[in-house]
Amino acid sequence: MPLSAHQRAVARAVTAAKTQVPHYYLKVRIGADRLRAWREANGRADGTKVAVDAVLAWACARALLRHPRLNGTFTGELLRLESRVHLGIAVAAGEELHVPVIHGAEGKSIHEIDRELSLLAGKAKAGGLAGAEVTGGSFTITNLGMYPVEEFAAVLNVPQLAIVAAGRMAQEIAASDDGSFRVRSALTLTGSFDHRAINGAQGAAFLAEIKRILEEEL
């Protein structure tokens, strides 16, 4: 079966990313009780729930403002950091993968991100994304939580410096500070980083900030 022109372009990009860019990976377990409760209490106007991707995008945008070293691109010679957060979000459209970009995500609410993401995802599935809607990204999020996938490590969306991959949200037994046990919702985020420009401590601090935002600020 021949690949489409878009699939061939993606194949070239991921091959270049894996063969030319030294990836490293870090993962963090996120307590998701607040995330689940927020989605229950702050639904869309039609009564459906806000996409998990929208909440993750909001949290990542806030974390990137506090860790701007990860918000940009690296060509091997030039590190370019962006003053605003332009979030790419991976969207499956049939057998194709598209990454529409939410520009200026740091200035948008969760509901604003959710509405824009819904519009862009619809365009992606209809094959109607404009050039400006898929270019200029400074960071990417990918989520396979709609499948029984606990965690996964994504290939960098070069020339971006980092990508965060979300697994499914599930219930688990967790220990409390007093030694008791409780059931909580949780999910795993895995960050993939370009080791040429981002060291391990920088990647770890960034994931820790996302965890803090989702567990304490939401």
**For 52-77, how does the pLDDT look when each residue is reduced to its tens digit (9 = 90+)?**
999 999 999 999 999 999 999 998 88
pLDDT tens track for 10-20: 888 888 888 89
Helices and strands, counts by H and E, the chain: 5, 11
How far apart are the C-alpha atoms of 87 and 142, rounded to whole Å?
A: 11
CB 153 within 8 A of CB 164: no
**What's the predicted TM-score (pTM) here?**
0.92
CB 86 within 8 A of CB 139: yes
pLDDT value at 127 more than 90: no
CB 107 within 8 A of CB 160: no
Region of poorest pLDDT, from 6-20, 153-167, 184-198: 6-20
Angle formed by the axes of helices 52-66 and 110-126, nearest 10°: 120
Angle formed by the axes of helices 33-41 and 52-66, nearest 10°: 120
Choose between 195 and 218: higher pLDDT.
Answer: 195
CB 135 within 8 A of CB 111: no
- How many Cβ atoms from other residues are within 10 Å of residue 182's Cβ? 10
Whether residue 22 has a cis bond before it, omega within 30° of 0: no
User: What CATH fold (topology level) applies to the domain 5-217?
Assistant: Chloramphenicol Acetyltransferase (3.30.559)
Which of 14-28, 100-114, 121-135 has the highest average model confidence (pLDDT)? 100-114
Contacts of 45 (CB under 8 A, 6+ apart): none
Structure tokens at 213: 């935002």
Domain ranges of the chain: 5-217
How far apart are the C-alpha atoms of 170 and 187, rounded to whole Å?
A: 6
